[in-house]
Amino acid sequence: MDFFMVNPRHFKISDIALINDGCEQTNGVFEKLIYLIKKCVLHALSIGPIPIHVAFIMDGNRRYAKKNNLVEGSGYKAGFFSLVSMLNLCYELGVRYVTIFAFSIDNFKRCPEETRFLMDLMKEKIESLIMDENNESINIANRFGMRVHFVGDLKLLDKPLRLAAKRIMEATVNNSRVVLSICVAYNSTLEILHSLEECCEEKCDEIRVLDESGSGYGLIKIRRDYLKEYDDSMCLINLEDVERNMYMAIAPCPNILIRTSGENRLSNFLLWQSTFCYLYSPFVLWPDFGFWHFVWAILNYQRSCFYLDKKSKQL
């Protein structure tokens, strides 16, 4: 009998159930196959040089929502799932440091409603990272052995978000497998200015202590006369002082910086740290950034890393 001539009414409920079970089994086998392929790809990648530090500018969330006719804010929620996926990939690949640009100082210029939505969403997602293990959404931070740092002028954040950030930093202080730096109320101009202010305060305190002990005249005299006879050894503030007081002193310079949506600018993000960083700018929007985009980024980094390392050692 020709299969295509069978009357659908002749099917029994049990027949339909068997067909559905067969489809589910097929899907299960297909998913396992995809999982194994991805595992093999990650293993192959690990043979080459693996970046120690990967940074992300998560661009394109609003455009994703507009493109897919979603309600305002849905793009950011979709972007969070991409972030968790990237954290998982970095963990499996052995990346030690991950930095994300979550909220720029410039974002405060957006409309108050959007700013409030972003603050509330960040608080919600921060709490989900340290959710109790009895909950179905298991504690992501502990699963990855992830220590979380918040980077930026946290005083600019509202109190609930500051408290949430403090809680997760305290809750993950003993984790060391992966270090996640979340840049909020941040830009590089602010970071460099902050570092210089900290350096000046440190040196002023040192000079004040020396003055009180009667031995600070030499240092003050250097500051008065250094224009007449300049010597590097006379600098009260040196490069090591500046870098030690940077917000991002908690991590080495990034090896690769990924900015989605095809933008080729850094938007005042990690300017000090990205001199010898490989920049990768795929045209895909952040919520669509997935496994194969990440793999291609790492492959491109592996092609360029020896040249970048050589250039960095020439300084």
Question: 27 and 122, same structural domain?
Answer: no
Per-residue model confidence as pLDDT tens digits over 217-233: 555 555 545 444 545 55
| pLDDT value, residue 21 | 55
**CA atoms of 154 and 162, how far apart (whole Å):** 7
| pLDDT value, residue 184 | 94
Question: 125 and 148, same structural domain?
Answer: yes
Question: What is the arithmetic mean of pLDDT over 7-21?
Answer: 49
Percent of the chain's residues with pLDDT above 90 = 50
Question: 66 and 31, same structural domain?
Answer: no
pTM for the full predicted model: 0.82
| pLDDT value, residue 204 | 83
**Is the pLDDT assigned to residue 291 strictly greater than 80?**
yes
Residue of 2, 15, 59, 158 with catalytic role: 59
Per-residue model confidence as pLDDT tens digits over 149-169: 999 999 999 899 999 999 999
Question: 141 and 103, same structural domain?
Answer: yes
Q: How many domains are contained in the chain? A: 2
Question: 168 and 25, same structural domain?
Answer: no
225 belongs to the catalytic site:
no
Question: 171 and 144, same structural domain?
Answer: yes
Give the model's confidence band at 93: pLDDT under 50 very low, under 70 low, under 90 confident, else very high: very high
